[in-house]
Amino acid sequence: ESAEKFGLSQLHQLRGRVGRGADQSYCILLTGNKLGHDARERLKIMVSTNDGFKIAEKDLELRGPGDVEGTRQSGMIQFKLANIVQDKAMLEAARNVVADLLEKDAQLILAEHLPIRQYLLERKDKTRWARIA
């Protein structure tokens, strides 16, 4: 009852708990009559897939990633160059390029990587990211 009031991860987890036994099981999600856009989208994805990764992607699309440096658990990050949802392929490609670069020169000491090293060192104290990892 009132499935529209729950988040995607909660609904997915509930559905998983219902179907744990050896017998056939069903998870029936009941809603109120008036559904907002986001509630309708959440329920559509629950009906269309059992894939937790697809559900998580839709949740990211609907709610945003939040503020990784703060306390806000939802909302869109204001990237200067990319949209974390719409530009997923480009961001993954960039991540792969960086991984390859760091595999070859983890300390960024090769001449062609020194500008990157310098930039990162200048930014080090301007962000809390340096404390992560």
How far, in Å, are 66, 69, 92, 112, 114 from residue 120 at the CA level?
24, 18, 20, 14, 10
Residue 68 has pLDDT above 70, yes or no: no
Task: Provide the percentage of residues in the chain whose pLDDT is more than 90.
Answer: 21
Euclidean distance between CA atoms 50 and 10, whole angstroms: 13
17 SS3 class: helix
Q: Name residues whose C-beta falls within 8 Å of residue 38's C-beta, 6 or more positions apart in sequence.
A: 62
Task: Provide the percentage of residues in the chain whose pLDDT is more than 70.
Answer: 80
User: Is the pTM higher than 0.75?
Assistant: no
**Domain range summary for the chain, segments of one domain joined by +:** 1-80, 87-127
Tokens of 67: 């503020």
